Structure formats: C-alpha cells, structure tokens
Amino acid sequence: MKAFKACAIAAALAVTSMPAWAGPTVDAVKAKGFVQCGVNLGLYGFSAPDDKGNWSGLDVDACRAVAAALFGDASKVKYTPLSAQQRLPALQSGEIDLLARNTTWTLSRDTANGLNFTVTNYYDGQGFMVPTKLGVKAAKDLNGATVCVLPGTTTEQNLADWFRANKMTYKPVVIEKNEELASAFIAGRCDVYTSDASQLAAIRANEMPNPADYVILPELISKEPLAVAVRHGDDQWLDVVRWSLYAMIAAEEKGVTMANVDQMAASSPDPEIKRLLGVTAGNGKALGLDEAWAKTIIKQVGNYGESFDRNVGQGSKLKIARGQNALYTQGGLMYAPPFK
C-alpha cells in the first residue's frame, strides 16, 4: 500500500511538474549543441553552399537566426540538403529540427502532414520563363506548349490547375534535378520553364548561358508563401523559431541593423526597441532563452531587410525587388506582432 501511494505521488509529480509548454526539441537541440536545419540542395539566394562549403541565403539566415537565439552563435547550424520529396519526411521523422527550404505553406501540409508553419520569410508566386525568341508576351499565349517542371512540389498541381481553368493544353516534362531540368530547357526540350518566380530569377542568373535570352512572364499563377516549418507537438520550439524570425522583421521596422544594434541597445529611448533587444527583460525568460537573444540575431545575421538585400535583393546577383516582401509600412506583407 505504501509502495502504491509512493508511486501515485511520483506519477502525479511527474505530470504536474512538467510545464505546459515544455517540449523535447529545445532541450535536445541545446544538448547536442547545434540546430539541424533542412535546406534546399542548392538554390542560389535561398540556400546554396559556396566553393568552400559555407552555406548562405535567405533560408540559411533563418536557420542562423534560430541558432543565434539559442546558442548566442549563428554558426551553430548543421545543414541537411533535401530534395523536394525528402523534405517533409525528414522533418516528420526528426532527422532535422526545422525546415527552411522554400516550402509553400498549405493547409494539407499544416494538418495531414504533421507540420507547423512559423513565419513566411518570402512571399512568392509561380511564374513562367520562356526564351525571348519565341515571342511570347503573356501566359495566355502558352496553349499547346511543352512545360519543364520539377516534380514533387505544388508547382505541378498549380500548372495543371491553371491550364485547366483557362481551357488550354500543355505537355509536362518532369525531371527531378534542377540542373538536369535546366539543361533540358536550355536545349529546347521545353518551351516554358515554370517554378516560383524567385527560383526562375535564380536559375536565369546562374544556369542560363545568356540570361538576356530569357524572359519571365509578368503573370503569377499562384500564391506561394514560403515559410519555415517545424514538427507538430512541440509548442516551445515553435515559439522559439517563430519569434527568432519575427525579431528580424521587427528590427527592420525599428531601424535596428547589424551595424547599429549595440548602440541602439545602449542608448535608444524607444521602449519597443528596449524590449526587443532585451534591455527591458522579460521576453527571453518567456521563450526560455537568454535575454539578449534578439540582439544576438540582429548582430550576427542582421535584420530582415539586410538579409533580403544580401541574398536575393539589390546586393545579390538576383536583384529581386522587395515587392510583396517589403514591410507592411511600405506596402508589403512583412509584419511582426508586438514584442511585449
């Protein structure tokens, strides 16, 4: 009887002593000392290794931001390059801790596939790229075309939907690897290359022998909010990832940059900046992080605008305009909830 009582008490303790938000991922990540981040096999501007094996890109910056928040060191990331098909199982199985691989946020992925999306770090849309010499001016001229498309993405379905909706026909050529697909397109196997507009820009800048020979049509046929995802069932980890990314957006809005973050922390009178940078304590404790977590992110990775410019914007080869990815204060969709 005594033993039974002891067991019951122990069980009750075990249950009640667990905080409501506790999740195993944060502890596991802290214990192993790095964030295992699922990224693209190589998509310039989003996640691609350079000739020394250093990864860079907008998605890579998301991984680095989370590492900076957790460890105070943005370099504590290990990258798992994933194909489109591998990415969901890799996250579901626990092989990676978070997925920052230009993944479109959709209802079925958010539910049936067991993912939780945190923050959209790039608003994209599917577009068409055609050789200039075909003389195509608009997507509606593409009836009967042969279309090069990567498998295993929402791209294939959007393409089918769009042609069906417009009562047009096409022939798909579906090849798994970016490079093979691009070379088939360059060889003229297809009339059209379809993908998210950001990827089209990246492919045109990097794979095409002469970028000026190709034009990206103005129409976008889909909404592609590319978001960073984590697994179902770990709320603390979800919060850490989500607010790490929001911190970058909030920093841009408040004008906090890599260069001025120390000075802002020391002398800014703005209470919102004080809360963001941990001068006023509270946010760090709530997330289970060091109070300087957001300051470290901005210092080591930069704010969202800096990351955008460096990777895909005017500071890069891609030269993609901010467009929908500008702050909400500048007509875009980037908006961080208040840091309080």
Partner 1 sequence: MLSGRQVKQPATLRALVYSARFRGIVYQVAVVVGVLALGWYLVHNTLANLAARGIATGFGFMGQEAGFDIGEGLIAYSAADTYLRALVVGVLNTLKVAVLGIALASLLGLVVGIARLSRNWLVARLATFYVETVRNVPLLLQLFVWYGIVTALPGPRQALDLGLGVFISNRGLKVPVPEWHDSYWPVLVLLAAAFIGLFVLRRWAINRLYRTGRPFPWLSVGLAGLVVLPWLGLVLVGAPLVWSIPELKGFNFQGGADLSPEFAALLAGLTVYTASFIAEIVRSGILAVPHGQTEAALSLGLSRAKTLRLVVLPQALRVIVPPLTSQYLNLLKNSSLAVAIGYPDLVSVANTAINQTGQAVEGVALTMAVFLVISLALSLLMNWYNAKVALVSR
Site string for partner 1, 225-264 (x = CB under 8 A): ------xxx-------------------------------
Shortest spacing between CB 103 and partner 1, in angstroms: 11
CA distance 11 to 16: 9
* Angle of CA points 258, 263, 269, to nearest 5°: 120
187 binds partner 1 (CB under 8 A): yes
SS (H, E, C) the chain: CHHHHHHHHHHHHHHHCCCCCCCHHHHHHHHHCCEEEEEECCECCCEEECCCCCEECHHHHHHHHHHHHHHCCCCCEEEEEECHHHHHHHHHCCCCCEEEEEEECCHHHHCCCCEEEEEEEEEECEEEEEEHHHCCCCHHHHCCEEEEECCCCHHHHHHHHHHHHCCCCEEEEECCCHHHHHHHHHCCCCCEEEEEHHHHHHHHHHCCCCHHHEEECCCCCCCEEEEEEEECCCHHHHHHHHHHHHHHHHHHHHCCCCCCHHHHHHHCCCHHHHHHCCCCCCHHHHHCCCCCHHHHHHHHCCCHHHHHHHHCCCCCCCCCCCHHHCEHHHCCCECCCCCC
Shortest spacing between CB 27 and partner 1, in angstroms: 18
Residues in contact with partner 1, total (CB under 8 A)?
Answer: 47
Shortest spacing between CB 246 and partner 1, in angstroms: 25
For residue 270, the number of C-alpha atoms closer than 13 Å in the C-beta half-sphere is: 14
Query: For partner 1, which is the closer residue by CB, 35 or 186?
Result: 186
Q: Choose one: 69-77, 108-116, 212-220, 240-248; the region binding partner 1 (CB under 8 A).
A: 108-116
CB atoms within 10 A of CB 3: 7
Site string for partner 1, 109-138 (x = CB under 8 A): x-xxxx-------------------x----
Write out the binding residues for partner 1, residues 143-172 only, by CB under 8 A. 143-146, 151-154, 156-157, 159-161, 163-164, 170-172
Query: For partner 1, which is the closer residue by CB, 40 or 300?
Result: 40
Shortest spacing between CB 49 and partner 1, in angstroms: 22
Query: For partner 1, which is the closer residue by CB, 84 or 217?
Result: 84
Site string for partner 1, 51-90 (x = CB under 8 A): ---------------------------------xx--xx-
Shortest spacing between CB 167 and partner 1, in angstroms: 12
Burial 189-216 (b: 16+ CB within 10 A, else e): ebbbbbbbbbbbbbbbbbbbeeeeebbb
CA distance 294 to 148: 42
Pick one of 97, 124, 191, 239: the residue that binds partner 1 (CB under 8 A).
191
Pick one of 28, 34, 41, 92: the residue that binds partner 1 (CB under 8 A).
92
Query: For partner 1, which is the closer residue by CB, 176 or 262?
Result: 176
Query: For partner 1, which is the closer residue by CB, 168 or 279?
Result: 168
173 binds partner 1 (CB under 8 A): yes
Query: For partner 1, which is the closer residue by CB, 146 or 324?
Result: 146
Pick one of 41, 81, 125, 184: the residue that binds partner 1 (CB under 8 A).
184
22 binds partner 1 (CB under 8 A): no
Interface residues toward partner 1, by CB under 8 A: 84-85, 88-89, 92, 108-109, 111-114, 134, 142-146, 151-154, 156-157, 159-161, 163-164, 170-177, 180-181, 183-184, 187-189, 191, 231-233
